[in-house]
Amino acid sequence: MVRLILLGLLAAAFFSATFILNRSMSLSGGHWVWSSSLRFFYMFFLLVGLILVNRGVNYLRDVITIFIRNAKFWLIAGSIGFGIFYSLLCYAADHAPGWVVAGTWQFTVIATPIVLLLFKEKVPRYGIFFSFLIFIGIFLIQFYNKGSEFATRDIVYGVIPVVIAAFAYPIGNQLLNFAKHGNHSLVSHIDSPILNDAPTCVLLMTMGSIPFWVLLLIIVAPSPPLKNQLINTGIVAISSGIIATSIFYKARNASKSPYIISAVDATQSGEVIFSLAGEILLLNGMLPNLIGGIGIMIIVVGIIGYSLRTS
């Protein structure tokens, strides 16, 4: 249990770069559709290359076979868990301040128990308590930012899309978890050892999201991506898309227990702390005030509480 939480926190450290780079691309004039879709196009080619080098052609052929045999599942899970999730996150980053997006995204901490309950999974009450405790800590951290006044525009274009994304991400991930473990009547069991490999799962979900991105590009028809956008989305693809997501999937898919899954998802609250630390160390950001400091301590207590319980 502790090992899985530590893996989740490590993933959060790599995930934290996403919010900074997405906002940077938005401020420089890059269209949000390219910021979102390019990440997954990069991920597809990078993951295919890594698998060819590390596993060989035969293994890649098995991956493609698993995808084709279960194409409907991968298209649904990939479009929800990667497509809807990340397109809305980038849309919000293009229309609202970065702190609004990063702070609201942490709603996924309590979205996961809600999603599990909707799938009729039993989440222990103390697990829900720890999730809400962490969310309170995240809320308090927002007072660290002196410019944290919400405007109607921030709520409509920033908060609402991110809240939807916060539900889409665990829904897609939980569909994958059910398929791997075969423990839900609504999701067919994909009985294959290749689902034990986290980067392979990331590739399959990425492949499932590709039609979503192509359709989005056709509908929105954005102007060509900027040079810095091509570079930054590549960095996001490697840091957040491949490294962080692979580590996160390794931790999340290691268990079918609703409690442990909630605990791993709750570690993503660490993104706020890592982002804050990076701003202070690299960008000469201000130290959090008293309320913000209390929020950080509450998050730490919540994560420790999760790790002290095993189920």
B/e letters for 31-56, b = 16+ CB within 10 Å, e = fewer, are bbbbbbbbbbbbbbebbbeebeeebe
């109607």: which residue's tokens?
152
| Residue pLDDT, tens place only, 240-288 | 899 999 998 988 888 778 778 877 877 776 776 676 676 666 556 566 6
For residues 97 and 27, give the distance between their C-alpha atoms in angstroms, rounded to a whole number.
10
In total, how many domains does the chain have?
1
- Helix 198-220 / helix 32-54 crossing angle, nearest 10 deg: 150
| Residue pLDDT, tens place only, 112-158 | 888 988 898 887 777 778 778 877 876 776 655 555 555 566 667 77
Return the SS3 of 141.
Answer: helix
8 A C-beta contact, residue 234 and residue 21: no
Looking at residue 304, what is its pLDDT?
75
Label residue 157 exposed, middle or buried (CB < 10 Å: 0-12, 13-18, 19+).
middle
Domain of 229, in residue numbers: 2-308
Helix, strand, coil percent values for the chain (each to nearest 5): 80, 0, 20
Say what the pTM is: 0.84
Return the SS3 of 96.
Answer: coil
